[in-house]
Structure 1
């Protein structure tokens, strides 16, 4: 359980690093007239992603580590983090945890965006399943997946509307 707690702590630190990058990019975007779309869902997203980490620890305290499941899930968590940071580096200053569009900005089509419209959400979905299952927290994996699917329905709709504004 100690190793899993350290993994969750590492993911939490990574999320805090994302927030630092996001705040820096938000400032950059606002200085260039950036407009935020769909701010109402943002607090729900923060709560859901924070709850994921807490629920992983809570449920895992009552579960056994199963190597046959845990190790492949850990590999998926690492792959999801790599994809997430590929997205962040590809978008550069345009990446944000919020949905912000800078007037005159062009839609990014390089990196993982060559393959998917929203590759960061591939990482989020994979991580939402794999991170809890590293330590057999299957209830957390199911609950997060269902709640995240509802949130992503809203979030992707907001992002698509924001991206449409780049064309006008």
Structure 2
């Protein structure tokens, strides 16, 4: 693989690790203020899929030995736009942004930023990334498999749990 691919994959992995740190801090703050986690048993599947995504992408690049010599600027522009949208999601939710479903009694449902237009924008962004990132580095099989795994987890676990939890926000009392 060419050097830029390693740098790119490494940068995305670092970004994800930073997001996990942000999520942990937000989770800690929310739990200290009386928040409740919902559907904790499904979170491990998201962790497994996202970790497997990077392993699959790297393995596919190594096995295919088909180095992408130059950057596809169209795909890279889509990647940059998804990163900007991700930052918009994280900053719009502030301390309420998380990788888990955590509900704080008494909190108001956030509808600012991209949440004013779409109910779950971050999941759309992740789906796009799971397709675009592997294509950028020459891992088309990973680009096909992982968006479907993401959609499966969302439909069968995450969205029903999260929508049910979010529906209770108005009825939950702090204390």
TM, length-normalised to structure 1: 0.94
**Aligned-residue CA RMSD in angstroms?**
1.4
In structure 2, the gaps of 5 or more residues are none
Which residue of the partner structure matches residue 5 of structure 2?
4
Q: Partners of 1:113 and 1:96 in 2: how far apart?
A: 14
Which residue of the partner structure matches residue 144 of structure 1?
146
Secondary structure of the corresponding residue to residue 102 of structure 2:
strand
Q: Partners of 1:7 and 1:158 in 2: how far apart?
A: 33
**Is residue 66–residue 136 contact of structure 1 (8 Å, CA) maintained in 2?**
no
In structure 1, the gaps of 5 or more residues are none
**Is residue 40–residue 100 contact of structure 2 (8 Å, CA) maintained in 1?**
yes
Q: Partners of 2:26 and 2:158 in 1: how far apart?
A: 19
Aligned length: 167
Secondary structure of the corresponding residue to residue 168 of structure 2:
helix
1:66 deviates by 7.0
Q: Partners of 2:42 and 2:91 in 1: how far apart?
A: 24
Which residue of the partner structure matches residue 88 of structure 1?
90
1:135 deviates by 2.1
Which residue of the partner structure matches residue 54 of structure 1?
55
Superposition misfits of 4+ residues, deviation over 3 angstroms: none
Which residue of the partner structure matches residue 168 of structure 2?
165
Q: Partners of 1:73 and 1:64 in 2: how far apart?
A: 16
